[in-house]
Amino acid sequence: MDINTAKSETIDLIKKITGKTNINVDSPLIGKGGIMDSMTAANFINSLEEKFKIYFMHEDLNLESFSNIDSLVNLIIKYSK
């Protein structure tokens, strides 16, 4: 999977789950100022795993990996290989 496809599909999924339409690659996802609370984030993680047919390891489920779209897409690419 190429990075642009992963990024586009991730943004679409974020919009669907959060109901927010003004999402860009710099939008903070989780943590201070993030667009998702913990329950939404848990749902989002499950949806990512289903959509991309991946399974995140526990050690990768942290604020740094989910801080913004670019860091998250890098994680998706890592697991898609």
- Identify the three-state secondary structure at position 34: coil
Which residue type sits at 51? K
Range of the domain at 36: 3-80
What DSSP state is assigned to residue 59? Answer: G
Model confidence over 13-58: pLDDT tens digits?
999 999 999 898 888 998 888 999 989 999 999 999 999 999 999 9
For the chain, the domain total comes to: 1
- Could you tell me which residues come within 8 angstroms of residue 49 by beta carbon, excluding any fewer than 6 positions away? 55, 56
The sign of the torsion formed by the CA atoms of 71, 81, 48, 6 equals: positive
Residue 67: CATH number of its domain: 1.10.1200.10
Structure token digits, residue 22: 């003004």
What confidence score (pLDDT) does residue 25 get?
84
